């Protein structure tokens, strides 16, 4: 059953908010909200996407680990992506993770399965690269694919060996670890800072991350940092043990520091026992933790389980229970997002909880606000679930002041005064002002000029806000009509800055189709989807006239995304803006459409893979099918053309047989694709 429209709208709102905060935090180094507020938004998005996996898009913030490194550091492209971890916040969520693991391995859920368990440190993830035993590079996680080069800083950490010890280490070894500041060092450092009248750190996690990002390594060297290594990203020139736990033992023999509290446990019961044991000693540990991590111990099983774009399927972080504080609601306001959605926000009496000061909390939508019955003046329980998410958990009704009134949905947009509409059955209410609403216009323009869209260098949010405030810019096309004189007259601008901005605007006219599509702000169309559309059709005209069925042939474009694209190009005013942009000189080079690239011996055929293949992995088989023009899905139905099965095939094979879907063993499959194996 497709997800309700309200759910897709909630997802889009959350993604917009998180993308904005990612940019402020990682690119500008100027966050607008506390970490706790950001983490709460991310958790809500993860929960919605877990409930509706069909709505997960490649550009969703959950598919990302972080964001772009700052330009003050050199960039490092990770040879193997640095993935993040999915979270479990309860025993039931852990059991669900274990069930998914067992199902993918086609094991009985009660079958013996060992996990390597260790505390989840609250620090900063790094990659260390050794060549012939010598440390040659240190990098932050960054966005998972590209990080910041912090070699000059990691070399100052005494627990990181500059040269490995022992024998038989790989000629190339890349390991991942967590840099942290021990509790004792954190307290000592803050005492000295207070005595000197200097700024103190809020918590050890911020201390570790901030220390790694110092441009002067002498400042990093003065801070008591430590590290525990927890994973091997790549090893060339040596054979590692077959168990993750044994690899950690081997790393220790080579001089790398690993967590002494690590342990191998059996099944869910062993994981829960370890969780309770570590939780009991949490406050006595010499370092801060916010949970524990479980990893399937056997590497062959890890490879079979694989990963999604953001996280491995064979590991999970089990977070500790919530931290709670009481605070008072000082006001309830409605924010208007880029899509016009109105979100109620509780302005709180600032409270220090879980290491940060929280002063506001999003109440999601009007239904959630009324369900919890939050009113101005109420004393509320503010919770950071798993030390991550701040939320108004409940209201202390007994402390409600006399006369406290229920907050209702405003009839007029608080920004532009346009009527507020709410479709029946939907949770989200929206401003009807569309492009006329400054709140939507500003965010749409910020997105249009952003680095991964039209990349108008120097046109920041402050300037866009000024231009919108004086009603100079009503659509993206009007950016290309700005002149030197009017820009030079703007606040904090001069002739030189204005001249540079004019040059940047002019330079942005030469772009690519994928960037242009992304810049348009079509709902559900992120960078990856825009790139796929551009590659598949090769030109804008083909996309504009494509039917939903044709759009669904594009990789990663499903029915919902296809409908969003079709709706966008069916709106005449959107086409007017596009034509105005083209008339202003925005252009790109069309390419040869790749529709034909999806044609092959398996064109139009749908496949399902099950069991363990011997000559190739499932991912390799999937790529081969796609290369031959076929499509791979995860479930068997009457529309499935073939089920490819290997050893220990499970319920999918049985279902195929019951539906009389043709089945092929690995030999028959290889014969079917024939010469494609040699390509």
Question: What are the sequence ranges of the domains in the chain?
Answer: 5-74, 77-319, 323-421, 434-507, 513-596, 599-678
Domain spanning 513-596, CATH class = mainly alpha
The per-residue pLDDT for 528 is: 82
Secondary structure (3-state) at 446: helix
CATH superfamily ID and name for 434-507: 5' to 3' exonuclease, C-terminal subdomain (1.10.150.20)
**Splitting the chain (679 residues) into consecutive groups of 10 residues, what average pLDDT does each group show?**
74 82 52 72 86 78 51 81 89 95 93 96 93 93 89 89 88 96 90 81 80 83 91 93 96 92 96 95 89 96 88 93 82 88 94 80 89 94 64 87 95 87 78 71 90 93 90 90 92 90 96 94 84 90 90 79 83 83 95 68 84 83 76 79 90 90 91 65
| CA–CA dist 181, 212 (Å, integer) | 11
Domain spanning 5-74, CATH class = mainly alpha
| CA–CA dist 651, 670 (Å, integer) | 23
The per-residue pLDDT for 576 is: 84
Residues 6+ apart with CB under 8 A from 8: 55, 524, 560
120 is an active site residue: yes
* 40 within 8 A of 391, measured Cβ to Cβ: yes
Which one-letter DSSP state was computed for residue 266? E
**CATH architecture assigned to 599-678:** 3-Layer(aba) Sandwich (3.40)
Alpha helices in 31-169 (DSSP H): 35-51, 91-104, 151-154
CATH, domain range 323-421 = 2.40.50.140
Note whether 5-74 and 434-507 share their fold. Answer: no
State residue 504 phi and psi, 5-degree precision: -65, -40
Secondary structure (3-state) at 241: coil
| CA–CA dist 531, 566 (Å, integer) | 17
Task: Out of 9, 120, 631, 652, pick the active-site residue.
Answer: 120
| CA–CA dist 145, 258 (Å, integer) | 24
* 651 within 8 A of 626, measured Cβ to Cβ: no
State residue 207 phi and psi, 5-degree precision: -65, -45
The per-residue pLDDT for 261 is: 96
The per-residue pLDDT for 573 is: 75
Burial class (CB in 10 A: 0-12, 13-18, 19+), 269: exposed
| CA–CA dist 93, 87 (Å, integer) | 8
| CA–CA dist 30, 325 (Å, integer) | 26
**Torsion, CA 260, CA 265, CA 269, CA 275, rounded to 10:** 10
Beta bridge partner(s), residue 412:
419
CATH, domain range 77-319 = 3.30.470.30
- Please count the other Cβ atoms lying within 10 Å of the Cβ belonging to residue 660: 8
């Amino acid at each position: 059953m497709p997800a309700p429209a309200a759910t897709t709208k909630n997802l889009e709102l959350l993604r917009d908010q998180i993308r904005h905060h990612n940019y402020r935090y990682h690119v500008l180094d100027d966050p607008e909200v506390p970490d706790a507020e950001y983490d709460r938004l991310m958790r809500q998005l993860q929960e919605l996407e877990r409930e509706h996996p069909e709505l997960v898009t490649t550009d969703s913030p959950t598919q990302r680990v972080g964001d772009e490194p700052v330009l003050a550091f050199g960039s490092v492209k990770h040879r193997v992506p640095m993935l993040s971890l999915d979270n479990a916040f309860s025993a039931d969520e852990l059991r669900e993770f274990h069930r998914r693991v067992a199902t993918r391995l086609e094991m009985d859920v009660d079958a013996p399965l060992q996990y390597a368990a260790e505390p989840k440190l609250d620090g900063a993830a790094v990659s260390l690269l050794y060549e012939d035993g010598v440390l040659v590079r240190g990098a932050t996680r960054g966005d998972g694919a590209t990080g910041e080069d912090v070699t000059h800083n990691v070399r100052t950490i005494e627990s990181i060996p500059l040269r490995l010890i022992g024998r038989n280490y790989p000629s190339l070894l890349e390991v991942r670890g967590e840099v942290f500041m021990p509790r004792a060092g954190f307290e000592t450092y803050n005492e000295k800072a207070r005595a000197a009248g200097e700024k103190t750190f809020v918590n050890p996690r911020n201390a570790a991350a901030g220390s790694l990002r110092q441009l002067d390594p002498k400042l990093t060297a003065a801070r008591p940092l430590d590290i525990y290594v927890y994973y091997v990203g790549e090893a060339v020139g040596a054979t590692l043990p077959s168990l993750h736990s044994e690899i950690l033992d081997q790393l220790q023999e080579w001089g790398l520091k690993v967590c002494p509290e690590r342990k191998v446990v059996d099944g869910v019961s062993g994981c829960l026992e370890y969780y309770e044991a570590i939780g009991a000693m949490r406050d006595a540990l010499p370092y801060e933790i916010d949970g524990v991590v479980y990893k399937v111990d056997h590497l062959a099983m890890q490879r079979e389980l694989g990963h999604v774009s953001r996280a491995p399927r064979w590991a999970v972080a089990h977070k500790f229970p919530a931290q709670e504080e009481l605070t008072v609601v000082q006001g309830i306001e409605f924010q208007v997002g880029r899509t016009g959605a109105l979100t109620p926000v509780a302005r709180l009496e600032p409270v220090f909880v879980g290491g940060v000061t929280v002063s506001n909390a999003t109440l999601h939508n009007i239904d959630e606000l009324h369900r919890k019955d939050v009113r101005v003046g109420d004393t509320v329980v503010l919770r950071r679930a798993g030390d991550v998410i701040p939320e108004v958990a409940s209201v202390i009704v007994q402390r409600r002041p006399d006369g406290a009134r229920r907050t209702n949905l405003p009839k007029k947009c608080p920004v532009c005064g346009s009527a507020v509409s709410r479709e029946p059955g939907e949770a989200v209410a929206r401003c009807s002002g569309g492009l006329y609403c400054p709140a939507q216009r500003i965010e749409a323009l910020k997105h249009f000029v952003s680095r991964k869209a039209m990349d108008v260098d120097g046109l920041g949010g402050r300037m866009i806000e000024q231009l919108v405030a004086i009603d100079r810019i009503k659509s993206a096309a009007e950016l290309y009509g700005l002149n030197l004189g009017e820009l030079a007259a703007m606040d904090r601008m001069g002739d030189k800055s204005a001249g540079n901005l004019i040059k940047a605007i002019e330079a942005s006219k030469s772009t690519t189709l994928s960037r242009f599509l992304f810049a348009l702000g079509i709902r559900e169309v992120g960078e990856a989807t825009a790139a796929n559309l551009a590659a598949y059709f090769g030109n804008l005209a083909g996309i504009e006239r494509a039917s939903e069925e044709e759009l669904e042939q594009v990789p990663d474009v499903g029915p919902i995304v296809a409908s969003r694209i079709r709706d966008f190009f069916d709106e005449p005013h959107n086409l007017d803006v596009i034509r105005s942009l083209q008339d202003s000189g925005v252009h790109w080079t069309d390419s040869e459409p790749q529709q034909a690239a999806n044609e092959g011996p398996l064109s139009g055929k749908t496949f399902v893979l099950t069991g363990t293949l011997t000559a190739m992995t499932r991912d390799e088989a999937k790529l081969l099918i796609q290369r031959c023009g076929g499509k791979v899905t995860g479930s068997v139905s009457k529309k499935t053309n073939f089920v490819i099965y290997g050893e220990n095939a499970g319920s999918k094979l049985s279902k195929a047989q019951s539906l009389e879907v043709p089945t092929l063993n690995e030999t028959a499959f290889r014969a079917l694709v024939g010469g494609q194996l040699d390509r």
